[in-house]
Structure 1
C-alpha cells in the first residue's frame, strides 16, 4: 500500500469522501427499510411479530457471515471491484422488495422474496463498507487509516439517521416501491461513479491463511464487539426504557447519542494518530461506561440524555482506534481480510444484544440492561489494558 504525497487536511478529506460516498449509499439503503418492513410483514402479510423481527435480523447475519470474505476478496480482486459488487447486491435488495410487494397475494412467496432481499442487502453492506474503507486507505495512504475509518463511520451513522425517517415518508407516499426504487437508483448511480474511478493496484505477494489473520486481530475485534453493546442497548431499548418510566423524549436521547458520536468523530479523530489507538480506546471505553452507569441510575429524563450523549461520545472512536491497531498486525496484502474479520465482531455484538438484553429485562427489569452493558464495556477496558501490555507485533512476524 503506497504512501500518498503530502496533502492538506482539506485535500485528504476530499479524496476520502469521494470513496466513502459509496458507504453512505450503502447504509442509506440499509436504513430505508428498517422502520417499514416489520409492519409490512406483520400487517400486510399477516405473519407474527417474531417473523417480522426475523426479516430484519436476516440482514445482520448475512453481513456477519460475509464480512471476512469481503475483506479477503478485496485483497485479491481490489477494493473497487468489491465496492461495485456490493452496490449490485444492494440494488438487488431493492428489486426483490418490489417483487415481494407484487407477490403479496401469496404471503409465503412475498416473505421469501423479502428474506432473499435481506440476504443480498447484508452481503452488499459488508462488501461495500469494507471495500470503501480499504479503497480509502489505498487512496490516501496507510498513515491516514484512522481518518478513513472515522469518515466511514460518519457516513454510516449519518445515512442510518436519515434512512429510517426517509423510508417511512417514502412508504407513506408511494408504498414500499418508493424506498425500494431509491435503493435501486443509488445502486445504479454508485456503480457508475465507482466504474469511473481508477482501480487500485492489488499487491502481489503471499497472503497468510485466514486463521492466522484471525489469530492476530481477534482480541481487537472482541474489544470492539464488547464496546458495541453500549450502542446496541441505547439504539434498541432506550424507547422502552422511557416508556417503562412514563417519560417522554426518547427520540431526543437518541439524537444526543448521535450528536455525541458524530461530534467526537469530527473533532477528536486526530487523537488516534497522536496518542495511538489503544490509549484512545481505553479512554473511550471509560467514557462509554460512565455514560451507561448514568442511564442506569438516572432519576430524571435529562440525566438519561446526559448518559446517552456520553455513551455516544465514548463509543465514537472505538471502531477507528482499535481498527487502526488491528490492520497493523498484518501486511498490506492481508489488510482487507483483517478489516473484514475485525468488523465482523461489531455485527456479532449487535446481533447478540437484542436476545441477551431481552432475557435480562425479563428477569431483572429494564434498568438492568444498562448496568450489564456497563459491565461488558468494563471488560473491554480490561482487554485493552491487556493489549497495551503485549509487545507490538511486526506485520511481517
Structure 2
C-alpha cells in the first residue's frame, strides 16, 4: 500500500515537468488577457466590439492550428510542437513592444496587436494538447484523467496568475516590461523543452484515422465543453470592463479568484471522475458554473462578484477533464493526439466567438447584460450533457 502511494506521488511530481510547459504558455497568455481590452478600448479609442474581435483572433488561429498540432504529435511526437509554441510566444513579446511603441497611431498599433494575437493563437494551438500527450506517452493511458487534471491546473492557474501580474507590470513598467518578460519566458520554455526526450511510442501505433473523422467522434463532448467554456471566456475577456462599467476596482482579481477555485476544484475533486463517471461530473460542474454566473449577474458589490467568479471557477474546473475522458474513449490510442487536439478545438471555438458575441451584446444592450446572456448559453450546455447521458444509458 505504501509503495503504491509512493509511486503515485512520484508520478505526480514527474507530471510537473511536462505540464510546466502548459504553465509557461498560459501564463504568457494571461499576462496580456486583462490589460489588452482596456488598452484597445480606452488607450486606442476603439469600441468594445473591436476589442473583443482582436482578442478573439487568438482563438481563431488556435482553432486553425489544432489539426496540424495533432498530426505532428501523432507522427513526430509532442516535443516539436512544444518547441514551435515557445518560439511563437517569444515572438509575440517583440510584436507587443512594437504595438505599444506606435500607440500614438491607433491603426498601426492595432495592426501590431492583431499580429500578436495571431501568433499567440499559433503558440496556443501547438501547446494545447502537446504536454498532455507527452505525459500520457511517458506514464501510460491509465493516468489520463490525472494528467488532464494536472494540465488544467497549470493552464488556468497560469491564466489567473498572469492576468493579475500583467496589470501590475503594465502599471509600473508599461507594455515594454510586459513584452520583455514574454520574450524571456518563451526562450526559457524553448530551452527547457529542448532538454527533454521526445516520445513517439504507443500512441503512434496502429492505422491512423483522419483528423476530421476523429473530430466527428469527439464533437458531442466538445460541444458541451464549448458551451460551458463561454462562461469562463466571458469572465476572462470582459470582467475588467465589467468592473470599470460599475466603477469597481481590481477587476483582474476576479480572474485570480476564478483561478484559485479552479485549481482547488481540480485538486480536491481529482478522483471524482473515476468514482462517479465523466458525464455525471460534467452535469454537476455545469450546474455549479451556472450558479456562479448568476451570482455575478445579480451582484451589486464587487465582493459578491468575486464570490460568483470563484464559484464559476469551481464549476468550470472539471468540465474539460470530465468530458475529455469521455471523448478519449471514442478513439483508439493511435489517434489520441488528434482526439485531444480535436476536443480542444471546441474550447477554442468557445473562446473565439465570445469576444465578438459578448462584445456585441455589450454594445447593443449594455455590459450589465453579458452575464445573463452567458447563463443562458451554459444552461444549453447543461441540457446537452443531460441528453448525452441519456443516450449512453440506452
| Fold shared per TM-score above 0.5 | yes
**2:221 is aligned with 1:223:** no
Shift of 1:25: 1.2
CA distance in 2 between counterparts of 1:229 and 1:181 reads 31
CA separation of 1:391/1:101 partners in 2, compared to 1, >3 Å: closer, same or farther? Answer: closer
| 8 Å Cα contact 1:83-1:129 kept in structure 2 | no
Residues 1-397 of structure 1: pairs in structure 2 closer than 5 A: 8-37=7-36, 48-49=46-47, 54-100=53-99, 111-171=110-170, 174-202=173-201, 203-241=204-242, 250=251, 252-298=253-299, 302-361=303-362, 366-391=367-392
Tell which deviates more after alignment, 363-372 or 377-386.
Answer: 363-372
Tell which deviates more after alignment, 178-187 or 247-256.
Answer: 247-256
CA separation of 1:144/1:175 partners in 2, compared to 1, >3 Å: closer, same or farther? Answer: same
Shift of 1:272: 1.0
Shift of 1:226: 0.5
Structure 2 residues not aligned, in runs of 5+: none
CA distance in 2 between counterparts of 1:105 and 1:300 reads 36
The number of equivalent residue pairs is 388
CA separation of 1:6/1:208 partners in 2, compared to 1, >3 Å: closer, same or farther? Answer: farther
CA separation of 1:169/1:305 partners in 2, compared to 1, >3 Å: closer, same or farther? Answer: closer
| 8 Å Cα contact 2:211-2:342 kept in structure 1 | no
CA separation of 1:62/1:392 partners in 2, compared to 1, >3 Å: closer, same or farther? Answer: farther
| 8 Å Cα contact 1:261-1:313 kept in structure 2 | yes
CA distance in 2 between counterparts of 1:141 and 1:339 reads 15
Does the residue aligned with 1:269 lie in a helix, a strand or coil? coil
Shift of 1:320: 1.0
| 8 Å Cα contact 1:75-1:334 kept in structure 2 | yes
Shift of 1:101: 5.7
- Deviations along 1:200-241, one digit per CA (max 9) or x if unpaired, are 124232111222111100010100000012212333444555
Shift of 1:341: 1.3
Shift of 1:350: 1.9
Tell which deviates more after alignment, 70-79 or 6-15.
Answer: 6-15
| 8 Å Cα contact 1:224-1:319 kept in structure 2 | yes
CA distance in 2 between counterparts of 1:99 and 1:294 reads 40
Shift of 1:326: 0.9
| 8 Å Cα contact 1:86-1:125 kept in structure 2 | yes
Shift of 1:62: 1.1
CA distance in 2 between counterparts of 1:300 and 1:100 reads 35
- Deviations along 1:90-128, one digit per CA (max 9) or x if unpaired, are 122223334556677887666544433332221111111
Tell which deviates more after alignment, 337-346 or 238-247.
Answer: 238-247
CA separation of 1:338/1:246 partners in 2, compared to 1, >3 Å: closer, same or farther? Answer: same
CA distance in 2 between counterparts of 1:142 and 1:238 reads 37
| 8 Å Cα contact 2:160-2:255 kept in structure 1 | no
- Deviations along 1:124-144, one digit per CA (max 9) or x if unpaired, are 111113211111222222111
Tell which deviates more after alignment, 208-217 or 358-367.
Answer: 358-367
| 8 Å Cα contact 1:23-1:128 kept in structure 2 | yes
CA separation of 1:304/1:336 partners in 2, compared to 1, >3 Å: closer, same or farther? Answer: same
CA distance in 2 between counterparts of 1:162 and 1:307 reads 18
CA separation of 1:189/1:306 partners in 2, compared to 1, >3 Å: closer, same or farther? Answer: closer
CA distance in 1 between counterparts of 2:237 and 2:316 reads 15
CA distance in 1 between counterparts of 2:273 and 2:53 reads 37
Does the residue aligned with 2:33 lie in a helix, a strand or coil? coil
Does the residue aligned with 1:15 lie in a helix, a strand or coil? helix
Give me the TM-score of the superposition, normalised by structure 1. Answer: 0.85
| 8 Å Cα contact 1:72-1:334 kept in structure 2 | no
Tell which deviates more after alignment, 336-345 or 362-371.
Answer: 362-371
CA distance in 2 between counterparts of 1:364 and 1:12 reads 50
